[in-house]
Amino acid sequence: MKTLVNAPIEQCFDLARSIDLHVHSMKNENEEAIAGCTSGLIGINETVTWKAKHLGFYFTMTSRISEMKIPVYFIDEMVKGPFKRLHHQHIFAPKGQKTEMTDIFEFSAPLGWLGLIVEKIFLKGYMKRLLLNRNKTTQEEANKYLSK
């Protein structure tokens, strides 16, 4: 998924790794950072544990920033949580005065064939909507900085 943001690459990179912005973008899911890096900018090898209500159920998930090259990309991976696997690449490229953010978001549901069915029918679209909402929030926050 690609999102064009009207802001410099460094600003987009920092907005994408902001715990506070993530919490704000997921307020409808009551998502909060409860352990590890719980505010500010998450860095390489740091973890964050999230608690959130998705699809009517409360979940906790711990992610770690496994790779980072400022301000070009970073990767977060689930180390503990509800998925069999979750791997998210955040890639940033300048496009004139704007920045193109690319999300490569890969996940696998647990529970074998049952999880695969849920993933294909429902979960894939749900996760895409969460990413779209997150990126919309990033665009809005970047615009606030530009208007100052």
pLDDT exceeds 80 at position 145: no
Strand order in the sheet with 32-36: 2-5, 98-108, 85-95, 73-80, 57-69, 47-54, 32-36
Report the candidate in 85, 16, 79, 92 with the shortest Cα–Cα distance to residue 48: 79
Q: Could you report the per-residue pLDDT of 80-106, keeping only the tens digit for each? A: 999 999 999 999 999 998 999 999 999
Q: pLDDT tens-digit profile of 21-33?
A: 999 998 888 899 9
pTM, 2 dp: 0.90
Residue-wise pLDDT for 53-77, tens only, equals 887 889 999 999 999 999 999 999 9
pLDDT band (50, 70, 90) for residue 146: low
- 60 and 34 Cβ atoms separated by less than 8 Å: yes
